[in-house]
Structure 1
């Protein structure tokens, strides 16, 4: 239980850092570069996924030493699903509910963060024998 709690804390810290990368790039692209919020959200999410991959596999999850390409492909597939969840929630909150995109991003990120932890722990982490 201690190990799981420590892992959740590490995951939260990595997620917090990656959220600022994601959020900062999205706001910059939308406000400064006049990119549509859905496109800027997709771009920023993608950049933060790369940072999250490196940090998660370095500091959070204990993975098998082996096929990093296979591991990265799994990580990307899980992240693409997370991106789909993110984009659907952003669209629904902004276009349907009328919530400001910066606020919508916070809620969407929280949902995707839970999805990410559960799926990465179940699929990527090595199994103790």
Structure 2
């Protein structure tokens, strides 16, 4: 059941990511690299807040919320690196439309985020 809730939370965060990215790239004509950084930060915050509310037990592994959020940010930085690599590969090397590349990048990072959060950040201590 956790994966279903995370899929819904991830879907909401993905919509935020894609909406901000689209606004910056298509609406404000910003470069894809910078737009992806900004949109990823927004979606990571949304994902964290919704995840601790609906998916994972906050404080399950780390006693203090700031340590937990720091861990989320580290996992997210790795996700950002993966996202940027996918975008670079698809946009710069294979001439994909930035929005199509972003959707693919979001899909790839979804699985990284879920696994890292479930097995490292929010795993219940035994």
Q: TM-score range by the shorter chain?
A: over 0.9
Runs of at least 5 residues in structure 1 that lack an aligned partner in the other structure: 1-5
Match 1:72 to one of 69, 73, 77: 69
TM-score (norm 1): 0.91
CA–CA separation in structure 2 for the residues paired with 1:83 and 1:73:
15
Q: What displacement does 1:128 show?
A: 5.6
After superposition, what is the alpha-carbon deviation per residue over 1:5-58, rounded to whole angstroms, capped at 9, x for unaligned? x11010000011111100000010111111101111110011010011111111
Q: What displacement does 1:126 show?
A: 3.5
Runs of at least 5 residues in structure 2 that lack an aligned partner in the other structure: none
Q: Show the 5 A alignment for 1:89-104.
A: 89-104=86-101
How many residues end up aligned between the 2 structures?
124
Structure 1 vs Structure 2 CA RMSD: 1.2
Q: What displacement does 1:127 show?
A: 2.1
The 8 Å contact of residues 63 and 125 in structure 1, kept in 2 or not, is answered as yes
The 8 Å contact of residues 76 and 113 in structure 2, kept in 1 or not, is answered as yes
TM-score (norm 2): 0.93
